[in-house]
């Protein structure tokens, strides 16, 4: 179980399944990291010291070009409310993905991050 309110993963952007495969092959060859595949457009590894993911989901307006730090939180709605109350803004409200739910936010300095939690309805 990830620790609440800690950065859980860094997500790199790729342009589709071929780019995900190329990135996976690169990091495997260069650093020996082994990846878990969650379909052709998403892979991750914990061999990097933290979880590093490559996201090549096409047509997803929630994705950005820069690496994205993703925090794990125990209560997604409470985290969203705390972000807004603390002066942050919501870029993409809560949405589901295979394995959980997340939202993207922008801090007062303009940095975009995301927060995720398990989907309570998936049990």
Q: Assign 63 a pLDDT band (cuts: 50, 70, 90).
A: low
Q: Assign 61 a pLDDT band (cuts: 50, 70, 90).
A: low
* Fold of the domain built from segment(s) 6-122: 2,3-Dihydroxybiphenyl 1,2-Dioxygenase; domain 1 (3.10.180)
Could you give phi then psi for residue 104, rounded to 5 degrees?
-110, 145
Q: Which residues is 34 bridged to in the sheet?
A: none
What is the residue extent of each domain of the chain? 6-122
SS3 50: coil
In this prediction, residues 32-61 reach a mean pLDDT of 87
Whole-model pTM: value is 0.78
Q: Residue 111 above 80 pLDDT?
A: yes
Could you give phi then psi for residue 20, rounded to 5 degrees?
-60, -45
SS3 122: helix
Express each pLDDT in 46-55 by its tens digit.
888 888 899 8
Distance CA 6, CA 87 (A): 19
């Amino acid at each position: 179980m990830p620790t609440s309110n800690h950065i859980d993963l860094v997500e790199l952007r790729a342009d589709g399944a071929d780019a995900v495969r190329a990135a996976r092959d690169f990091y495997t060859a260069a650093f020996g990291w082994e990846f878990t595949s969650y379909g052709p457009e998403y892979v991750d590894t914990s061999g990097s010291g933290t979880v590093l993911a490559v996201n090549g989901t096409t047509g997803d307006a929630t994705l950005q070009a820069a690496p994205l730090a993703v925090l794990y939180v125990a209560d997604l709605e409470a985290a969203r409310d705390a972000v807004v109350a603390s002066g942050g803004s919501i870029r993409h409200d809560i949405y589901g993905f295979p394995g959980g739910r997340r939202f993207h936010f922008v801090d007062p300095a303009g940095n975009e991050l995301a927060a995720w939690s398990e989907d309570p309805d998936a049990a």
